[in-house]
Chain A
Amino acid sequence: MICMNRTTDKWVLGKKILPFFDRASYTGEVMLFMGGIFGLMLSRTNIQAVLIFAIFYFLLVYRTCLTRSLSGLALSGLLSALILALRFKYLTWGDPWFEYAMIQNIMENGMLSPAYYSDQEPVLHTLIAATSTYVNIGAMTLQKFIVPAISSLSLLALYSIAREFFDKETAIVSALLLSAGTAYIHWAAQAVTESIGIPMALIALYFSYRSLQDVRHLPAACMVITGLVLTHHLSTLLFIVWYNSFALAHLYFRSRDEMQSLRGLFISVFSLAVAFGWWSARMPDIYDIVINSIGKLLHTSSPVYMILLILIIMYSVPALLRGQLIRIGSRATILQEFRTAAYLGIILCCMACALLALHFLMGKSFFVLNYPLLFFANGLMMLLLALFGMRSFLYLDKTPVLAWIGGVALLFVGSLLKLYYAEDPLRFVEFIYPPLSIIAACGFIFMTSKLGSRRKAALVALICLSSLVVAFPSTVFWGQEYPPSDPRHDVRAFVINHPESELMAIDLLKDHKAKGTLHTDRYVGYVSLQLENVTSDISVPLSNNIHTRTYGRKQMNPDRFSGESNFVIITSRMMNYAEFGEWLLQEKSPLTKDERADIEKKTSLIYDNGDAWIYKGSGFKDLEIKLPGEDSS
């Protein structure tokens, strides 16, 4: 069974018996993937089983990097994207519960008009609602697994883009670095619209770029762009920025074909037309914000026409002045003599921007953020690798990737400086990660050029594994929350998982057809969105796309109740951490004992499961409820 064959490999271990060792066989990758899944599932009852996942994930990434296998890449990405779905029984955080409520809405009404369906980003909701209805599997289960699975397509798309500029090794490392990138995995592992928006944007970018070179790809590109518009507005906007930066750099510095400019202009105008058309028809709030921001930036009262004019000019120049551009390009190669100076200048510029970003992410700016220091490890590593990787980009033929990251980085910095309205600047970071991964991969390849392939692969696997661990709150891989003195302390650990007790309280209201208003904190409020006849403090602004903060903890005060039926849900988590309308703009504080005692005193306690309590009170003051012991005659 075991034979030594020194003429080929050192050991030939009966490849038919142990397919893992046959690098040409994908069976080993599938087995490693299944092993990782197995470990994550077991970890629900025994957190030590996370070690099983870690071992299999490490081996899978190691093997993928060594063999440069695309199937291994797809499975690695899928495994990391399914972490939350397998670790926890229910949807995590808050946003996925909003998507779940929209899915249930569609399943019930079957209509997508604004009167029935307020969100108007139908891709995720329709896909899951249709699948659940026709396949007879619960919508939450499908949402938890299908959406992250779709998000893992980002890696194959990024690989394809990177492959246009670099070799297989760099492309594989880019995709693997992205798969464990903190900002990326946070969205990929959730089951929200961004989880589909990011891969759709990457696929649209790749096929749009291919369309420039070959018109056969144009129909597919246009279809994917249409799908992207229907998926997520921010992903669409960032795609438009990505594409125009990328395409114009390609046309100006790489292309020699005038027809490419026309195709480029067509795609640009098409994407804007579909986006603006959909937003103006179905999402007027978003349309107004985008148009007003563009108008403010360009100092014009006709932003749409101005944008079109700018695009026509920008795309016409490479077509009309092709000869002049080639002459300038040939002279510009002289500038490459000054590569070192340009490199140092770019490093200084990047460091300044990185400091600004870090200042924001550490909560020193207008957002109140409390990320642990470990959380920044992946981002700092990516920046360091990218600084080394930048040296590979000081050539004209690599400018599209630089332009790609430059466009979105400018938007991010502009939002930090409040040059225009951007509700959440953090949302730009996940769109910086794909091009950053390519640049970081170049830096990694450069820094490890003296290492053998196995050591390189092991290093990549270690980076990916440790990045995953620090990207998620401590409850995911450590199974518990930690005190503030511990470096693993992370307030997000309180709210990533919705315990069974919380869902049981919501189920009571659902099963017994509660009607009225629910007052609770933000995260329990998200879970309550599925309740039909109960309006929570968070449901009104979410359902109506209201972006101002219209509620706060004061609405938990029974003296402020209105209407006959008011419910309050308190969980034990809220006594340690609670979030109300302050979102990211103010410091959060847990529910105090006095606040709870006040609720206890003025309302009836109708449900207790030891970890979640439901109170019921009335806003009507005709009942002068007094405590026992007070004057009760």
Chain B
Amino acid sequence: MNRPMIPVSVPKDAILTGMILLISGVGVTLDLPGIASPVLLLLPGYTMCSALYPGRDDLKSSERLIVSLALNITLVSLLALAVNSLDLPLFGPGVPLFVALFSVTVIFTLISVLRRAGRIDAYDLLLPKATALSVLVFLALLSISALILATGLDQDKPTEFYLLDRNGTLNYPLSLGENEVGCVVVVVENHGPIENYTLVIDLDGVLLNRQELVLREEERWVDEVSYKAPYQNSTLSFTLYKDNEPIRRLHLLIGRR
């Protein structure tokens, strides 16, 4: 006697989950930005929720949303702790945390499919219906927002004026022997439109150098300045002028050993 075959229909959300998992896996492997975000932010919790609540009437949509996200947040932390407990760093080779999230999502998806199999009132994701016009309007608004963000809405950065040592760090030779020569690097960075500057360097009030600079937008000017310590204590001053007005000042207190 042949038993009638009851077809097991795979819920739409399980198929969608599988597709997203595959795409995310590829995204992480190829280091593509943004692709893996569903696996981090929603899928593990959503599949766990579907496994716990297989019936359509078990939860309302809003309840499914909040518990899915809450479960997701919990799962990410618990899995991170579990990965660490195996003495594995979270983001080491083999992407252990991602693999854990991926695996847990697969497991919960399978459980949810099995729990929903054969149920008349099985839950499945209802994808919203959108008209062409509303999709177009939404995409247009999204594009405008992205354009605004990309072109940069931020205020102009001010001109920077600073000193470095020869190694590009902030360890200046401030204690010199009698005939020893120290060296410091002066940097001017212009973040606005093209500007004319004048740089004046003096040592204890005695002019050492005066230089005119023209910097375009986002241009960086660098120069080395050598100095000695003529007295027990000296002050090496740097003043940056714009339109004959001092706009920036720096100084180094130099001592003689």
Residues in chain A within 8 A of chain B (CB atoms): 16-17, 19, 25-27, 30-31, 34-35, 37-38, 41-42, 44-45, 70, 74, 89, 106-107, 109-113, 122-123, 126-127, 129-131, 133-137, 146, 150, 153, 156-157, 159-160, 196, 199-200, 203-204, 206-207, 216, 219-220, 223-224, 226-227, 230-231, 500-501, 504, 508-509, 512-514, 565, 567, 602-611, 614, 616, 618, 623-628, 630, 632-633
Contacts and interface: CB of A to CB of B under 8 A. Distances in A.
Which of A16, A159, A605 has the most chain B CB atoms inside 10 A of its CB?
Answer: A605
Given A38-B148, A159-B62, A625-B255, 13 more contacts: A41-B148, A74-B65, A112-B80, A156-B62, A199-B70, A220-B49, A224-B70, A227-B70, A607-B162, A608-B160, A608-B248, A609-B160, A610-B247
Contacts of A614: 162
Contacts of B98: 130, 134
A66 to B, nearest CB: 18
B161 A609 contact: yes
Contact of A130 (B40, B170, B204, B249): B40
Interface string B159-190: 11111100011111011000000000000000
Contact of A608 (B71, B174, B249): B249
Interface in B81-137: 81, 84, 89-92, 95, 97-98, 101, 128, 130-131, 133-134, 137
A623 to B, nearest CB: 4
A512 B164 contact: yes
Which of A41, A160, A227 has the most chain B CB atoms inside 10 A of its CB?
Answer: A227
A207 B63 CA distance: 9
Given A501-B158, A604-B253, A200 B163 contact: no
Contacts of B61: 70
Contacts of A633: 231-232
A197 to B, nearest CB: 11
Nearest to A620: B175
A605 B149 CA distance: 35
Contact of B77 (A122, A216, A611): A122
Interface string B138-149: 100110110011
B205 interface: yes
B255 A624 contact: yes
Contacts, number: 259
A625 B73 contact: no
A34 B91 contact: no
Given A42-B153, A628-B205, A131 B40 contact: yes
Given A38-B144, A44-B154, A130-B97, A150 B69 contact: yes
Which of B37, B66, B97 has the most chain A CB atoms inside 10 A of its CB?
Answer: B66
A19 B158 contact: no
A41 B152 CA distance: 10
Interface stretch (B12-20, B28-36, B211-219, B220-228): B28-36
Interface residues of B, number: 89
Contacts of A567: 170
Contact of A160 (B62, B80, B172, B205): B62
Contacts of A609: 157-161, 248
A604 B174 contact: yes
Contact of A134 (B36, B70, B75): B36
B235 interface: yes
Interface string B29-60: 00111111101110000001100110000101
B162 A111 contact: no
B160 A41 contact: no
A230 B253 contact: no
A112 B81 contact: yes
Given A136-B31, A226-B78, A625-B253, A604 B172 contact: yes
5 contacts: A30-B138, A109-B89, A130-B97, A134-B98, A224-B70
Nearest to B38: A135
Contacts of A160: 60, 62-63, 66
A203 B74 CA distance: 12
Contacts of B41: 127, 131, 146
Contacts of B52: 216, 219-220
